[in-house]
Amino acid sequence: MAFMDSYMKKLDCLSFKGLYNSDFFLTWEKTDAELKAVFTAADALQCLRKENISAKIFDSGLAVSLFRDNSTRTRFSFASACNMLGLEIQDLDEGKSQISHGETIRETANMISFMADVIGIRDDMYIGRGNSYMHQVADAAEGGYRDGILQQRPTLINLQCDIDHPTQSMADMLHIIHEFGGIENLRGKKIAMTWAYSPSYGKPLSVPQGIVGLMTRMGMNVVLAHPEGYEIMPDVEKTARKNADLSNGSFSKTNSMEEAFRNADIVYPKSWAPFSAMEKRTDLYGAGDTDGIRQLEKELLQENALHKTWTCSEKMMSLTKSGKALYMHCLPADISGVSCSEGEVEAGIFDRYRIQLYNQAGFKPYIIAAMILLSKTAEPQRLLHRLETCAVKRVKL
Amino acid sequence: MAFMDSYMKKLDCLSFKGLYNSDFFLTWEKTDAELKAVFTAADALQCLRKENISAKIFDSGLAVSLFRDNSTRTRFSFASACNMLGLEIQDLDEGKSQISHGETIRETANMISFMADVIGIRDDMYIGRGNSYMHQVADAAEGGYRDGILQQRPTLINLQCDIDHPTQSMADMLHIIHEFGGIENLRGKKIAMTWAYSPSYGKPLSVPQGIVGLMTRMGMNVVLAHPEGYEIMPDVEKTARKNADLSNGSFSKTNSMEEAFRNADIVYPKSWAPFSAMEKRTDLYGAGDTDGIRQLEKELLQENALHKTWTCSEKMMSLTKSGKALYMHCLPADISGVSCSEGEVEAGIFDRYRIQLYNQAGFKPYIIAAMILLSKTAEPQRLLHRLETCAVKRVKL
Amino acid sequence: MAFMDSYMKKLDCLSFKGLYNSDFFLTWEKTDAELKAVFTAADALQCLRKENISAKIFDSGLAVSLFRDNSTRTRFSFASACNMLGLEIQDLDEGKSQISHGETIRETANMISFMADVIGIRDDMYIGRGNSYMHQVADAAEGGYRDGILQQRPTLINLQCDIDHPTQSMADMLHIIHEFGGIENLRGKKIAMTWAYSPSYGKPLSVPQGIVGLMTRMGMNVVLAHPEGYEIMPDVEKTARKNADLSNGSFSKTNSMEEAFRNADIVYPKSWAPFSAMEKRTDLYGAGDTDGIRQLEKELLQENALHKTWTCSEKMMSLTKSGKALYMHCLPADISGVSCSEGEVEAGIFDRYRIQLYNQAGFKPYIIAAMILLSKTAEPQRLLHRLETCAVKRVKL
């Protein structure tokens, strides 16, 4: 018994008041202690689940989801997290709504929130749009609550924007915390966030940005590698550099995959589109220039094809620490010979790390649930204690 | 404590047996006492929610929704209401079902209702169809229950038909009850339900019809204003006239927006399509006459454009009682300079009333929940008392 | 009181350990005792529902549904069953997911299952595909559980594949058990599973196959009738023959509807596509041969039209036992003069049996819930006893 004690003690040592009643947009807007509180709460929730103890803190209530891009993993993670806490998913399908005809964001945000305790949004397609849209929704909900329109303040969870993918990067970090036996063991470890070739194009920047923005927080040596021209947002690089300085880690860049892999403890090879191309695409979409989009797509695919050697091969892996770096991916990966002829990673490597990769993904529901829980209560220790003491069974057989 | 006492006392004074085990199609099929019971139950449910007390009267059960037209507000209101009471939404997406190939309405109604406690339908596009379709579904469900096919009788809630939009008009009235400090204070107040210009066309008639059909019940002076040719259904006008006679209010018509606004306590300017044009459109759709539909649309837009002066301007507002009539709209409104260049209302006016407008919309979930609750129990007083006494927390932190 | 006693006693006499922790693919993979346990649990659940007692054994948890073909009845039955047990439906819409780009089935299965207690799949369109796909999903989930990726093992329920439609055939059999007053009374009864004309084509084989595969289990005399060329899968015929031998029933085939109907206690006339044509269609889809598909469709419709006399007419019904055989259909039926000009059954016959047909369909939610319950607990007797004793009300009024 008293499974929750260790988590409660950890939380006692952290100052995370800033999470209460707040939204989750970017990891670098949170303090280290706040991030650690999220990891701790996520672990506590997973422990409760393993002990078949219900974490239902809502008797009823809605969790609104809005996906402006396809999603399987994040959609199911969000649904799982909300269900675990007792909220029912209500999807806002913009195609079936009246939003089209000129309704303001402020209005929509209020209209969907009368009984919403959480709003989760994925909006990652257009540079300069997604994060800004989420802020408009959150501001509107905050305003609605302040004005007495809403009886509760819905918590906004960024399920991937143009800048960050915090539920992904936080799940990723919780994974390596578990793999390396504690957050304190990450100090000095080398992680290579590298571009990798994929036959598709235009993959969001939010994963590499999220990784360099977060992993620089814990004293790690973060290397960002990509072919020339595949830069990420300059602002995020600046953030990563600042983070590294503060945490006594490091952040460096290279145009050589080999250099990034050399002696790395962790590798994260993944395709993305150049920031400048994504900006261009956003403008073309804005102008409705279909020909321009097609032309850009063609150019990007041609450019990509010049960098097919950027792949996570056995040879590349052999450069890493003892040849045994932890391979990570947000999934789905473009696996050579499986999902495409030439892709981000060799099938043998993917298979070797498959269980770990699936475990990595499995942290996301708990990360999301922890974000919600810490936004809703200022005293999670008391709450965890009560959940354990009441011990309502999740499955009653 | 004893928050529920005042609501219970109000209900004690009302005779509303007709609501028990019945559906909600049109407000004018209900008695004044029944409508008052719905308002009272809605207020009671809102009070419980404010006190963080669960109103979950269903441990499990489905609420089936069928939207044959786009919807955001009503969709989320229905979902919120059902979730609040403990029912899970199951959407009937006719595109993903087998309904297409000649299945009878009776059969579908039974097949979706084995575990359905509520069915909510929006079917507002075609004159003479929506309300009739809802009745067929309700009759089939009633029959299925009588024949022992269904173990419970699902309650049908009209979420907007060709004739009425009762969850809207009831929420609207609850809003003005709150704004004017009590239903008894509505007597003698002047409300202008007026047509307003919008660059779109073919908006349903159910809102203006619902408003004149309901607001004439409580001794108000209801004025229906529109340009010549924009008549609503004659039957609903007849109903409004009859209601006004019975309630010692009045119902009048005018082709002048100014006349309607003059000295009004409440204004409700909103676009709609002429009844005769909607009838014509229904026939054209029936005949699959795409050219005819396009032609009709063109004519309607041209006709609309002749009446751009029908807009809720500051000048128009200055005609109202002390220049301060309550501005109402079912949302989303066509706001000049915001959602269109010229529309139903000036941006400044909309902004001035924005919080009130959002509150107006916020009553809908409670109205729907109250309709369901009063259909399910003949003794809501006892139920409200029990909910308050048990005081299960909605959010347990 | 003690409603559950008779069901508990019935279960005491049955050995059904094989159901625990297992999936439900095909009825003929289960023992007689296991099938009887499902019927008994379904009856027990229906009894609880009638007594307004909650059967919610899950406090939270997801039930993932994946429909690769349209569905109303099965979709709502699955949703009803899961809701009854306390699980929230999360639909996997492949169009809105990232599954398209080469993700493996194993990966998807794990990604959707982190909090899934049940997965229900309909995949009935292509011969040799559906059942095999379901096995891949179930194997992946089993593997994920074994590898510690998933904290629970989701139960897979076949909601119709290319071979069997077990939730349909089991609901059908529970219906006739009730109609004939007990499973022991089915021995020696004649059931005619016959092809019938329909103006549509390409209806799945899984219903007739499911019926002959299941009904031969209980000592019934099963006759499969169809025009020459409308053969079902040879393997299923073999299964039916073997079942009949073991149960001391019989299985025979004929190309005469009259012969099948003669002296039948039960008739199940229904259209289906020839097995060989379905195989051909699967190949054409595989090759993306649109012209070929169109050509095949034309041929099949022409072939169908040669057999319009295969219809459930009053004349045909008069051949059955006392002219009063039980008419069955999985619905929706192609009713002559109602849903088509000439179809599977005359309107008068359908109407006469309508209530029974709807009741037949009404067993499906309970069959699905029973399948889930028996997969989740090895001691359903104890569980049913507890549910009755706790007696949590489903509707608390």
Residue C56 covered by a domain: yes
Residue-wise pLDDT for B152-182, tens only, equals: 999 999 999 999 999 999 999 999 999 999 9
Number of domains chain A is built from: 2
3-state secondary structure of B258: helix
Residue C97 has pLDDT above 80, yes or no: no
Contact B58 C392 (CB under 8 A): no
> Chain C partners of B99 at a C-beta cutoff of 8 Å?
72
Domain co-membership, B91 together with B210: no
How do strand B62-67 and strand B335-336 relate by DSSP bridges? unpaired
- Identify the closest residue of chain C to B373 by CA–CA distance: C397
Q: What is the residue whose two structure tokens read 């309709």?
A: B371
Question: So what's the pLDDT on residue C86?
Answer: 98
Question: So what's the pLDDT on residue A101?
Answer: 58
Domain co-membership, B12 together with B154: yes
CA quadruple A80, A84, A85, A91: dihedral, nearest 10 = 30
Q: pTM value?
A: 0.97
Tallying the residues shown for chain B, one arrives at 397
Residue A395 covered by a domain: no
CB A14 within 8 A of CB A394: no
Contact A103 B340 (CB under 8 A): no
Question: So what's the pLDDT on residue A289?
Answer: 92
Residue C191 covered by a domain: yes
Contact B89 A92 (CB under 8 A): no
Residue B278 covered by a domain: yes
* Cα B324 from Cα B321, distance rounded (Å): 6
Contact B103 C332 (CB under 8 A): yes
Domain co-membership, C138 together with C176: no
- Nearest CB neighbour to A395, from listed C58, C111, C148: C58
First to last CA, chain C: 20
> Chain A partners of B338 at a C-beta cutoff of 8 Å?
102, 104
Residue-wise pLDDT for B213-265, tens only, equals: 999 999 999 999 999 999 999 999 999 999 999 999 999 999 999 999 999 99
Contact C114 A56 (CB under 8 A): no
Residue-wise pLDDT for C42-60, tens only, equals: 999 999 999 999 999 999 9
Question: So what's the pLDDT on residue B1?
Answer: 52
Domain co-membership, C124 together with C207: no
- What residues in chain C have their Cβ under 8 A from chain B's Cβ atoms? 49-50, 54-56, 67, 70-73, 75-77, 79-80, 83-84, 86, 88-89, 200, 331-332, 334-335, 338-340, 355, 358-359, 361-362, 364-365, 392-397
Q: What's the CATH number where A252 sits? A: 3.40.50.1370
Distance from CA of C242 to the nearest CA of B (A): 34
Residue-wise pLDDT for B300-326, tens only, equals: 999 999 999 999 999 999 999 999 999
* Cα C240 from Cα C246, distance rounded (Å): 10
State both tokens at A275.
């920031």
Question: So what's the pLDDT on residue A99?
Answer: 59
At a CB cut-off of 8 Å and minimum separation 6, what does C242 contact?
Answer: none
Interface test with A, best of B46, B89, B394 (most A CBs within 10 A): B394
**Higher-scoring residue by pLDDT: A69, C357:** C357
Q: Which amino acid is at A168?
A: Q
Q: In B16-96, which residue ranges form alpha helices assigned H by DSSP?
A: 32-50, 73-85
Contact B79 A102 (CB under 8 A): no
C131-147 burial, b for 16+ CB within 10 Å, e for fewer?
bebbbebbebbbbbbee
Mean pLDDT confidence for C159-168: 98
* Cα B344 from Cα B332, distance rounded (Å): 10
Residue-wise pLDDT for C169-227, tens only, equals: 999 999 999 999 999 999 999 999 999 999 988 899 999 999 999 999 999 999 999 99
* Cα B278 from Cα B284, distance rounded (Å): 10
Question: So what's the pLDDT on residue A374?
Answer: 98
Question: So what's the pLDDT on residue B126?
Answer: 87
C301-321 burial, b for 16+ CB within 10 Å, e for fewer?
eebbeebeebbbbeebbebbb
CB pairs under 8 A between B and C: 114
Question: So what's the pLDDT on residue B178?
Answer: 98
DSSP C64: E
Run of H or E including B295: helix B290-305
Question: So what's the pLDDT on residue C202?
Answer: 83
Contact A98 B332 (CB under 8 A): yes
Residue C286 has pLDDT above 90, yes or no: no
- Identify the closest residue of chain A to B66 by CA–CA distance: A96
**Paired strand residues for B335:** B345
Contact B96 C338 (CB under 8 A): no
* Cα C36 from Cα C30, distance rounded (Å): 10
State both tokens at C243.
């079942």
Angle at C153 between CA C150 and CA C155, to 5 degrees: 140
Question: So what's the pLDDT on residue A55?
Answer: 98
Domain co-membership, C178 together with C321: yes
* Cα A98 from Cα B72, distance rounded (Å): 6
Domain co-membership, C248 together with C223: yes
Domain co-membership, A35 together with A154: yes
Residue C241 has pLDDT above 70, yes or no: yes
Residue C102 has pLDDT above 80, yes or no: no
Residue B96 has pLDDT above 90, yes or no: no
Domain co-membership, A105 together with A221: no
* Cα B14 from Cα B22, distance rounded (Å): 17
Domain co-membership, C247 together with C270: yes
Domain co-membership, C57 together with C189: no
- What residues in chain B have their Cβ under 8 A from chain A's Cβ atoms? 49-50, 54-56, 67, 70-73, 75-77, 79-80, 83-84, 86, 88-89, 200, 331-332, 334-335, 338-340, 355, 358-359, 361-362, 364-365, 392-397
Contact B395 A61 (CB under 8 A): yes
Residue B234 covered by a domain: yes
Question: So what's the pLDDT on residue B97?
Answer: 67
Residue A396 covered by a domain: no
- Nearest CB neighbour to B111, from listed C49, C73, C86: C73
DSSP B263: T
Mean pLDDT confidence for C315-332: 98
Residue C305 has pLDDT above 60, yes or no: yes
Q: How many helices (H) and strands (E) does chain B have?
A: 16, 11
Distance from CA of A65 to the nearest CA of C (A): 13
Residue C288 has pLDDT above 70, yes or no: yes
Could you check whether the bond before residue A234 is cis, i.e. omega within 30 degrees of 0?
no
Q: What is the ipTM of this complex?
A: 0.96
- Nearest CB neighbour to B107, from listed C55, C331, C392: C331
Interface test with B, best of A58, A59, A155 (most B CBs within 10 A): A59
Run of H or E including C300: helix C290-305
Residue C395 covered by a domain: no
Residue C287 covered by a domain: yes
Domain co-membership, A357 together with A369: no
CB C311 within 8 A of CB C346: yes
Burial of C128 from C-beta contacts in 10 A (0-12 / 13-18 / 19+) = middle
Q: Which amino acid is at B332?
A: P
At a CB cut-off of 8 Å and minimum separation 6, what does B21 contact?
Answer: B153, B155, B375
Mean pLDDT confidence for B89-104: 77
Distance from CA of B220 to the nearest CA of C (A): 36
State both tokens at A189.
């470890």
Question: So what's the pLDDT on residue A33?
Answer: 98
Contact C103 A332 (CB under 8 A): yes
- Identify the closest residue of chain A to C386 by CA–CA distance: A397
Contact A59 B200 (CB under 8 A): no
- Residue B276 belongs to domain spanning: 168-361
Name residues of chain A where pLDDT drops below 70.
1, 97-102
Sign of CA dihedral C206, C210, C211, C212: positive
- Nearest CB neighbour to B114, from listed C334, C365, C397: C365
DSSP states along A173-225? HHHHHHHTTSGGGGTT-EEEEEE---SS----SHHHHHHHHHHGGGT-EEEEE
Contact A338 C377 (CB under 8 A): no
* Cα C235 from Cα C233, distance rounded (Å): 5
* Cα B68 from Cα B124, distance rounded (Å): 8
Residue-wise pLDDT for B332-355, tens only, equals: 999 999 989 999 999 999 999 999
Domain co-membership, C176 together with C323: yes
State both tokens at A117.
């305790």
CA proximity to B220, closest of B232, B230, B212, B228: B212
Question: So what's the pLDDT on residue A97?
Answer: 67
Sign of CA dihedral A128, A133, A134, A136: positive
